[in-house]
Structure 1
Amino acid sequence: MLKPEENERLTRVGPGTPMGEVFRRYWIPALLSEELPEPDCPPIRVRLLGENLVAFRDTNGTVGLLDRYCPHRRVELFWGRNEECGLRCVYHGWKFDVAGNCVDMPNEPTESNFKQKVKITSYPTWEKAGVIWTYMGPKDWMPPLPDYEWVRAPETHRHVSKTFEACNWLQGLEGGIDTSHSSFAHNNNLADKNALRTRAPSPKLEVVKTDYGFRYAGIRDLGQDGNYVRAYQYIMPAQQMRGAMTKWKDGSREEFPAIAGHIWVPIDDESTWVWNFIYSADKQIPFTPEFVLEHETAFGRGPNDLLPGYRLKRNPSNDYLIDREVQRIQTFTGISGINTQDYALQETAAPIIDRSLERLGTADAAIIAARHLLLEATRDVEQGKAPRGTRADSYRNVRACDKILPAGIDWKEALKEEMTAQF
């Protein structure tokens, strides 16, 4: 459990809040590249960490991320004209470049130097892996650009998507690093008693703290078959990485290893962008369109599962289309889509869970460790220190994996190679 004041520290993300200032020490995903598909395309509204912003791709293809409101009369720049390397407010014609400089002020006398005194808040952006990243913190604390293995993986070996979740970011993260719930919430075949996570539903957890977060394993005892080890990475402040055996290879249903995960980026205190990535663990095996379609559909975010704005069709308004007959005879939840099952539990608990009422057990060791690290990060930032995971060299060589090991083998030694980046 957390004390109410600790829960407040970890869940509130607006400017000046302890966790908001922690997030502002990292590069975070802001948009998919596809949301700004070409130079001078229409601008779009963005909300991150409780701030209302507007994004546009200028004539040169550079992405700007600005305060949504014009500093003149505070109208929305979303209505602006994206033209000739700047976003022009349609109220009085003031125009701003991607750095927030006012480059034209046509309603003022031509001899006026007023425009040189006007600047709008802007955040730097960087585009890689189909993602537009931003840094919203103090310039002096800007960390190196993101260097996760999935970002370096070739486009042919990687897929990235995002979905909207209507709850606090910490609920999503804690679900992602909770390995034991996969034996229940994600049991989609009740008849298969040989499934690894069904055979051993109570994993032993081992957590090893690192300078980027921690790595940990859920170890399930399979008796004479050894131990099924699901080895995760938690990268500060909000990224989970796990092994993901997949069944598509060269267009055929053949199992091969992949690595998947999420980043939970707060929109505000009560809503979150969930960034989803998966990449091939084998340089020789690229993804096929068939694999990507099946993977996204299995997790509940296929083309037929989404509403405009990357929102799920299955949502609280329709009880996630739960099928009680399917729940009775086929799946544990009766809800279709692996991540949709998570959303149903996380979105309907409360916008922000009161963690002072929880009763945690040994299966929650990773959640407890993450809370300790996040609280530590809030203190570090308040004391003028860099939090864990801001140095790219601390996390760039990590990956996750699933594997069955002989009983008595130390996973930390046995999985060193499998948990070392190859791209």
Structure 2
Amino acid sequence: MLSKEQNDLLTKTNADTPMGKLFRRYWIPAMISDELPKPDCPPVKIKLLGEELLAFRDTEGKVGLIDEFCPHRKVSLYFGRNEECGIRCVYHGWKFDVNGECVDMPSEPPSSNFKHKVQIKSYPCRERGGVIWTYMGPEEEMPELPELEWNLVPDNHRYMTRKIQYNNYFQAIEGGLDSSHISFLHRGAGGQGFMGLKKTAASKVSNYLTGDTAPKFEVEKMDYGMLVGAKRHAEKGSLYWRITQFLMPWYTMIPPYEDSPRGAHAWVPMDDEHVYTWNINWNPTRPLTDHELEILKSGRGIHMELIPGTLRAKQNKENDYLIDRELQASGKSFTGIHGIQAQDSAVQETQGAIVDRTTERLGSSDAAIIAARRMMLKAAQDLEKGITPPALDPSSHHVRSASVVLPEGVPFQVGAKEVLTFTDEDYIRDEGAQNVAAANQDKI
């Protein structure tokens, strides 16, 4: 358990908090690029780390992320006109560009130079891999863009969505690190979703997960975060390992099954009680098939169907995630809730907006969660002392998760070594795929 002071430090992310200052040292996945589909399209409201912001794509295709409210009379610029390389307030016509500079002030006399004295808060944005990234920290400390594998592959190798989840970011991270819940929460219909696996292979993996519901955890601290191995009994003399990657400050990678699409999450705080849940699937070696995309969009896996025009899931707390009690009673689904992400949302949101960790009782299967808490708290406290946060170097992001069967006695770090990393050459020199330099050209 944590003390109240530790829990507050872990969960509060506004600009004046230690964790908020830590998060502002990283590039933040703010939006999917397609949410701003073309120049001069309607702007989009977005809330990040407690700040109410507005994103827009200008006439030249550049993305701006600015304070939502006009500094004149604090009217929301969401209702503004996106035109001629700027967003214009409909109240008095003040206009701001992607850098937050006031470029027109028609309500003032032509002789006035007042517009040159007005600046609105803005954050730099770049695009890579279908994502609009923003940096909210000190300009002089800006790192290079992340090089997570899903952000480097060609567009047709990747499918991603994001939604609003109604809880603090960290209980979502804890769910992503908790390999033991796979044996229960995701058991049965709509559960593991062994996409692309032959029936016999899927049955074998399912038997590993349900046959040994008390995995033993091994956690190794890495320069980018943590490597988490959860081992279960497999055939005689062997162990089944689910190996999860945790990359600071909010990324987890889901252990894949053979050639099925890989999976990852990012949990980006909107504020202390809401989080943007990013769900990503990709295949590093080939485009996703139509069949795979059909399954990914069906809600069976880590993506959820949204209420049109919103980032809110159709299955939500108000409708009990559309739980089917008959299905649950039948034994075909442990929860009676359709889809992995809906199941995760149900347990994370119903913990409350912010979990009271002062009263919890943790067991041995919570080793990764305990280690992640310590790591996050230490990183925030270290930054207060002037120590540089971990995982800012993009080269440290070149890692993969894995699921493997290894002989007993073989350390997972050794037995799975070849499948836990990738190199620049996998993308830069692969003639059958777009490379980092061309396909993922940064747009500033």
Calculate the TM-score normalised by the size of structure 1: 0.93
Alignment of 1:27-46 (within 5 A): 27-46=27-46
Alignment check: 8 A CA contact 1:293 1:302 kept:
no
Secondary structure of the 1:19 match is: helix
1:412 is matched with which residue?
413
Alignment check: 8 A CA contact 1:186 1:332 kept:
yes
Alignment of 1:294-333 (within 5 A): 294-296=295-297, 297-299=299-301, 301=303, 303=305, 306-329=307-330, 330-333=332-335
Given candidates 340, 343, 353, the residue that maps to 2:342 is 340
2:271 is matched with which residue?
268
| In 2: Cα distance, 1:301 partner to 1:213 partner | 25
Q: Return the offset for 1:290.
A: 2.2
2:217 is matched with which residue?
205
2:282 is matched with which residue?
279
| In 1: Cα distance, 2:23 partner to 2:336 partner | 35
Given candidates 210, 214, 234, the residue that maps to 1:222 is 234
Alignment of 1:235-274 (within 5 A): 235-245=247-257, 256-274=259-277
1:117 is matched with which residue?
117
Secondary structure of the 1:25 match is: coil
Alignment of 1:24-423 (within 5 A): 24-188=24-188, 195-224=207-236, 226-245=238-257, 256-281=259-284, 283=285, 285-296=286-297, 297-299=299-301, 301=303, 303=305, 306-329=307-330, 330-395=332-397, 397-421=398-422, 422-423=426-427
What code does the residue aligned with 1:220 have? R
| In 2: Cα distance, 1:322 partner to 1:112 partner | 62
Q: Return the offset for 1:205.
A: 0.6
Q: Return the offset for 1:385.
A: 2.2
| In 2: Cα distance, 1:383 partner to 1:302 partner | 41
| In 2: Cα distance, 1:170 partner to 1:16 partner | 18
Q: Deviations over 1:171-217 (max 9, x none)?
A: 10100100000100000159x79622001111111111011101111
| In 1: Cα distance, 2:211 partner to 2:413 partner | 23
| In 2: Cα distance, 1:176 partner to 1:62 partner | 34
Q: Return the offset for 1:307.
A: 4.3
Q: Count residues with an aligned counterpart.
A: 409
| Distance verdict in 2 for CA 1:229–1:300, change over 3 Å | closer
Alignment check: 8 A CA contact 2:64 2:98 kept:
yes
Alignment check: 8 A CA contact 2:304 2:342 kept:
no
Secondary structure of the 1:115 match is: helix
Q: Deviations over 1:303-327 (max 9, x none)?
A: 5x54431211111111111111111
Secondary structure of the 2:71 match is: coil
| In 1: Cα distance, 2:241 partner to 2:403 partner | 6
Structure 2 gap ranges (5+): 192-202, 428-444
Q: Return the offset for 1:390.
A: 1.5
What code does the residue aligned with 1:354 have? D
What code does the residue aligned with 2:289 have? T
Alignment check: 8 A CA contact 2:279 2:303 kept:
no
Alignment check: 8 A CA contact 1:243 1:257 kept:
no
Structure 1 gap ranges (5+): 246-254
Secondary structure of the 1:10 match is: helix
| Distance verdict in 2 for CA 1:349–1:258, change over 3 Å | same
Q: Return the offset for 1:77.
A: 0.7
Alignment check: 8 A CA contact 1:169 1:272 kept:
yes
> What RMSD, in angstroms, separates the aligned Cα atoms of the two structures?
1.6
2:431 is matched with which residue?
none
Q: Deviations over 1:274-324 (max 9, x none)?
A: 00111114x2x3211320220242126355x54431211111111111111
Q: Percent identity?
A: 48
Structure 1 segments, 4+ long, off by >3 Å, are 300-303, 305-308
Q: Return the offset for 1:227.
A: 0.8
| In 1: Cα distance, 2:275 partner to 2:46 partner | 12
2:9 is matched with which residue?
9
Mean CA deviation greater in 181-190 or 164-173? 181-190
